[in-house]
Amino acid sequence: MNLRLLESWSFTKAVLWSLIIGGALLMSAGAAADSITEWNERALACTTTAKLFPYPASRAIAMVHVAMFDAANSIEHRYSAYKVQVSAPPGSSAEAAAIAAAHSVLLKLFPDQSAELDAAYAASMARIPDDGKAGGVEVGEKVAAEIVSLRANDGADAPNQYRPVTAPGVYVMTVLPIGSNWPGVKPWLMKSGSQFRPGPPPKLTSQVWARDYNEIKDVGGKKSTVRTAAQTEMGRFWQMAGPGSWAPIGRQLAATPGRTLLQNARLFALTEMAAADSQIAVLDAKYTYNFWRPITAIRNGDIDGNDQTTRVADWEPLIDTPLHPEYPCAHCINSMAVAAVLESEFGNGPIPVLTMTSSTLPGVVHQWSSIKEWTDEVAAARIYGGLHYRNSTVVGQEMGRKIGELAVSSYLRPLPGTPLGQAQSSPPPPTAPAEVHSLKVTVLSTMLANGGLR
């Protein structure tokens, strides 16, 4: 969507409602629920500081949230554990357990960030009453150690052994693609990285290929004359990748009034495990099929055997092409895996305005009135950016939904007879006024600098 400044009166309304949504959503769930979202932001900051690629960043954040859930659940006993259930001293604080678990996992993963992590830990713990704090910390640290041990030999440290395709003596690019080892990483939910591997991409002689080729050639090129300003903005907005491209959506929904610490711990554990598995699954498919990116295909459009495609010798995408094969779309599988989990709790209908900023397009805010609107934009943006064919976005979303549904149906299930297990649905989020839903504009960098929106 294209964001512009409104006339002063409309701009004022947008600012006020943005503050209401951005502030009230965060405050309404209470301090306990905030500990989950707070440490989600802390974990994301750690991966950003460490400059991790999206797939190891997703693994790290999944480790944090699984530990937080199993720690809190060890005290409250309302769901099946993911892997770890430890004994808790009577009266132990579930919130202290969750915080201690997050802190301990992050210290193991990012020891060079210990000063920042210790300061954040002290601030979080200072809000918790002393009664039960020590017991909670003991539980959290035990669970964290178990989760770290569980993932110690999961294949994430395997070397990049990608073998470039060439002929003797022929030059090829000397930059190795990334993530070629990731299909061998142990999944959190799936039986293997290939469990949801799709069929092959379209044949180059097919109508589907011709359709997708010509679409992205026209709308995805750097010099495109048919792509609109709004579509260009969308492509650049979604150049961001990894957990930062979905975590803000979960944090806003987690602030729905009436939600508990454990509900949010479970929500984030499921979404981050689904996202982490989507990284494994998509890289498995990418390196199975090694399908060419648009920049390669369009510069070689005269050798694909399809009379409906034409070569463009100097074609370039709007945004830089990632260093891994095209098929299927990673952004699409990631966002849909997360969306399937979110929809299991919040439904697939209208919700209050969700907002996000982008690290790759500072000063711009996008907003959506449903989870589906968000995932649809993510998929379209990868076409406008010149990175993915339409069929790849569809296949990626189909894979992501399967992973998210697996998470919800088979993991962290409510235990029989528990109050929370008998009433799983959360209260619906408050509905924004109709006039606010009609506003397709939010605020710019001046407001972001003041922390008005997250």
Tell me the mean pLDDT in the region 114-135.
97
In a domain, 68, yes or no: no
Distance (Å, whole) CA 196 – CA 253: 28
> Using alpha carbons only, how large is the chain's radius of gyration in Å?
23
* Tally of domains within the chain: 1
Q: Which domain holds residue 413?
A: 8-29+178-449
Tokens 């969308």, residue?
234
Answer yes or no: are the C-beta atoms of 247 and 44 closer than 8 Å: yes
In a domain, 55, yes or no: no
The DSSP code sequence of 327-394 is SS-HHHHHHHHHHHHHHHHH-SS--SPEEEE-TTSTT-EEEESSHHHHHHHHHHHHHHTTS--HHHHH
pLDDT of residue 439: 30
Does the model's pTM come out above 0.75?
Answer: yes
Share of the chain above pLDDT 90, in %: 83
Q: Flag the least confident range among 19-33, 41-55, 137-151, 293-307.
A: 19-33
Which letter does DSSP use for residue 44 in this model?
A: H
In a domain, 149, yes or no: no
pLDDT of residue 276: 98
In a domain, 187, yes or no: yes
Distance (Å, whole) CA 22 – CA 454: 6
> Each residue of 43-84: pLDDT tens digit?
999 999 999 999 999 999 999 999 999 999 999 999 999 999
In a domain, 368, yes or no: yes
pLDDT level of residue 34 (50, 70, 90 thresholds): confident
Distance (Å, whole) CA 351 – CA 405: 20
Q: What is the CATH number of the domain that holds 336?
A: 1.10.606.20
Per-position b or e across 249-261, b if 16+ CB within 10 A of its CB:
bbbbbbbbbebbb
Tell me the mean pLDDT in the region 169-189.
96
Q: What is the mean pLDDT of the chain?
A: 87
Q: Is the omega angle on the peptide bond into residue 328 within 30 degrees of 0, that is, cis?
A: yes
What is the number of other CB atoms lying within 10 angstroms of the CB of residue 314? 9
In a domain, 252, yes or no: yes
pLDDT of residue 446: 32
Phi, psi angles (nearest 5°) of residue 357: -105, 175
pLDDT level of residue 419 (50, 70, 90 thresholds): low
In a domain, 311, yes or no: yes
pLDDT level of residue 315 (50, 70, 90 thresholds): very high
pLDDT of residue 417: 82
> Each residue of 347-375: pLDDT tens digit?
988 888 999 999 999 999 999 999 999 99
pLDDT level of residue 245 (50, 70, 90 thresholds): very high
Q: How crowded is the C-beta side of 227, counted as CA atoms within 13 Å?
A: 28
In a domain, 227, yes or no: yes
Q: Is the pLDDT confidence value at 191 over 70?
A: yes
